[in-house]
Structure 1
Amino acid sequence: MAVSLKDIARRAGVSQATVSNVVNGYRPVGEATRAKVQQAIDELGYTPNLSARHLRRGRTGIIALAIPELNNPYFAELADAAIRTATRRGYTLLLDYTDGDRDKELLVADGFRSQIIDGLILSAVHLDRADIMTRTSETPMVLVGEAIYGAPYDHIVIDNLAASHAAVRHLVALGRRRIAFIGAHIEANRAPSLLRLRGYTEALSAAGLPFDPELTVTTSGFRRGDGAAGMRELLRLPQPPDAVFAFNDLIALGAIRALYEHGLRVPEDVAVIGIDDVEEGRFSIPTLTTISPDKEMIGRLAVEKLLDRVEGRPTNPPTELQPPFRLVIRESAPAA
């Protein structure tokens, strides 16, 4: 026989309205009362019918996270955090894959799955503010990543300039003077690459080091092979670099592989630092020094902000939120 809210209220010695508030998270409930209700729920084996609850409110209980890459560990870790947060809130998270394709991103942003999702978290690569401003879908949306700024949507993004400054400052503190950047993109307006390159040049200037365009390598992608190819290009210079700041950890790991193939030592000959703090960098040889964004917070904030919009709770106007990052010093660029 199905357990009802009335059964729980009788067992806990509280009103049915109080049980409803606990189960649905409508209003704050005192810890002692919440504990009594939760004990009754556990004893009676009550399981809420989430599908029915969402349907009663005119929702599906499904949200989507659209990402540009499936084989990039950064997005896998971000998705993991988002899925766990959505589950805690009683929602199912659908993973959508755009392959960084502009047409697919436009399709997703403009409500391609609006009949089955209550809201969208979008990590775009090619879209800009103008694309988002012409969006016709009314499905709530939260933006993640660096591609779009100034749109009227909540936006979760790390401070790329500050992160790049921190990486280059660390290399300068190690006494490195020919610091290269791998990961400038062939599309000059790609915001993440542009911001990290700008941070790199600003940090060089602040350290009194000249900007040498030969030390900036343009790549077509942001994977290990792109990093290896970029490093080989740098090693052909009359004066190769003594340090590398990579657009992300995958490029950094590819660069380390190319240095190994050329008989060079990391960090003795060339220090290497990346951004993302993917798990692979903690087990590479050498382990990878990196800028670590708080991916757990990024995923959690994205889901929480989206569900605030979906559920119509009083919220502030759309805002840009910047989760923190930290420099994680490992073997590829150890402390001086």
Structure 2
Amino acid sequence: MRHRLKDVAERAGVSVKTVSNVVNGYQHVRPDTRARVERAIAELNYRPNLSARNLRKGRTGVIALAVPELDIPYFAELARHVVTAAAELGWTVLIDQTGGGREQEHKAASGIGDHLIDGLILNPLALTAEDLADLDGTPLVLLGERVDHGPADHVVIDNVAAAREVTAHLVALGRRRIAAIGAQRNPEGASARLRLAGYAAALDDAGIGYDERLVAPARGWHRADGAAAMRDLLATGVRPDAVFCFNDTLALGALRALHEAGLRVPADVAVAGFDDIEDGRFSIPTLTTIAPDKERIARLAVELLANRLDGDRQAPPRELSAPYRLTPRESTTP
């Protein structure tokens, strides 16, 4: 039997309106009254009718998360955290893969479909601030580095500082020929440019010259791209003694190429990545990485979206920063 607000009100000895105020989190309820209502809710195992609530608010109870690639583990792990945070608000999450293409990203940012979603969390690679400024309607939260200080709320991490820290970790181990894998010069490569800047800054801090021969481009950031880039570096004859890969999947590919070349990690070449995907905790050796707080990124994004839906949609956009940490493992420290 599904209990109603009326049943909870009768059990607690209060009005239906008071129960509604407690369920919806209104602050102006006396503590003893709130306690009685919460006790009645628990005793009756009452669950709010989310469909009816959304209907009253003119909402669907559905949001969307649009990311470039679901086969990049970072985005899959992030999606899990977004789904968890959204579920606590009674929301369902649609997940869309844009491929990093402008047309698909524009479609997602435009709301995916009339009245289909209440809001969107988007990690754009192709859209610009100007593209987003032309959109109207669907509440939007941005992830990633493509659009800074744009027309929507934004959750970021400090990519430059993080890359600088992991490169400094390699320097502190006595490495001097530190390569970088993952450089991109295309407009979509905002993360790559920031991580390259952090890498270069750490070398400069240590008095190590920047050597273009040690910087390997990668059109994609998959395992195969990392393996190919590592093979290309080794083929030049400029042997690195450490490698900073701009994400963990590149690093896993680099580990494979080093193994094929008969080089030991970390004795001959130390390897570090970025993202702290689960695979890196089980690779041989386990992977040193920068660990962005993916759960915090997801919660901040969902909270920003909830604030837009329940608050002032005309308020200035906010940019919030999520933490990260350096996580040393066997690939740099035996």
Same fold by TM-score greater than 0.5? yes
Within 5 A, what are the aligned runs for 1:66-77? 66-77=66-77
- Residue range with higher mean Cα deviation, 95-104 or 157-166: 95-104
CA deviation vs aligned residue, 1:163-199 (integer Å, no higher than 9, x gap): 0110110000000000010000251562111111111
Flag the 1:189–1:118 CA change in 2: closer, same or farther, 3 A.
Answer: closer
Please report how far the alpha carbon of residue 313 of structure 1 lies from its aligned counterpart in structure 2 after TM superposition: 5.7
CA deviation vs aligned residue, 1:14-55 (integer Å, no higher than 9, x gap): 343331122122336566544432331232232221111101
| Contact residue 179 and residue 242 of structure 2 kept, 8 A | yes
What is aligned with 2:90? 90
What TM-score comes out, normalization by structure 1 length?
0.94
Q: Is 1:194 the counterpart of 2:183 in the alignment?
A: no
- Give the counterpart letter for 1:125 in structure 2: L
- Give the counterpart letter for 1:72 in structure 2: I
What is aligned with 1:99? 99
Could you say what secondary structure the match of 1:25 adopts? coil
2: CA distance, partners of 1:76 / 1:28: 40
Please report how far the alpha carbon of residue 58 of structure 1 lies from its aligned counterpart in structure 2 after TM superposition: 0.9
What is aligned with 2:221? 222
Structure 1: 5+ residue stretches without partners: none
Structure 2: 5+ residue stretches without partners: none
2: CA distance, partners of 1:193 / 1:118: 32
What is aligned with 1:260? 259
1: CA distance, partners of 2:28 / 2:170: 49
| Contact residue 227 and residue 255 of structure 1 kept, 8 A | yes
- Give the counterpart letter for 1:195 in structure 2: L
- Give the counterpart letter for 1:153 in structure 2: A
Flag the 1:28–1:270 CA change in 2: closer, same or farther, 3 A.
Answer: farther
Q: Aligned pair count?
A: 334
What is aligned with 2:156? 157
What is aligned with 1:141? 140
2: CA distance, partners of 1:83 / 1:2: 25
- Give the counterpart letter for 2:264 in structure 1: R
What is aligned with 1:26? 26
What is aligned with 1:126? 126
2: CA distance, partners of 1:210 / 1:29: 64
- Residue range with higher mean Cα deviation, 267-276 or 103-112: 103-112
1: CA distance, partners of 2:28 / 2:67: 35
What is aligned with 1:53? 53
What is aligned with 1:3? 3
What is aligned with 1:14? 14
2: CA distance, partners of 1:189 / 1:96: 18
- Give the counterpart letter for 2:224 in structure 1: G
Q: Is 1:292 the counterpart of 2:291 in the alignment?
A: yes
Percentage of identical aligned residues: 56
What TM-score comes out, normalization by structure 2 length?
0.95
Within 5 A, what are the aligned runs for 1:160-199? 160-187=159-186, 190-199=189-198
Please report how far the alpha carbon of residue 126 of structure 1 lies from its aligned counterpart in structure 2 after TM superposition: 1.3
Q: Is 1:248 the counterpart of 2:251 in the alignment?
A: no
1: CA distance, partners of 2:326 / 2:246: 14
1: CA distance, partners of 2:30 / 2:63: 30
2: CA distance, partners of 1:96 / 1:165: 32
CA deviation vs aligned residue, 1:291-321 (integer Å, no higher than 9, x gap): 0000000001101100110122699631111
| Contact residue 160 and residue 196 of structure 1 kept, 8 A | yes
| Contact residue 180 and residue 215 of structure 1 kept, 8 A | yes
- Give the counterpart letter for 1:182 in structure 2: I
- Residue range with higher mean Cα deviation, 248-257 or 100-109: 100-109
Could you say what secondary structure the match of 1:197 adopts? helix
CA deviation vs aligned residue, 1:237-256 (integer Å, no higher than 9, x gap): 22211000011000011101
Please report how far the alpha carbon of residue 6 of structure 1 lies from its aligned counterpart in structure 2 after TM superposition: 2.4
RMSD of aligned residue pairs (Cα, Å): 1.8
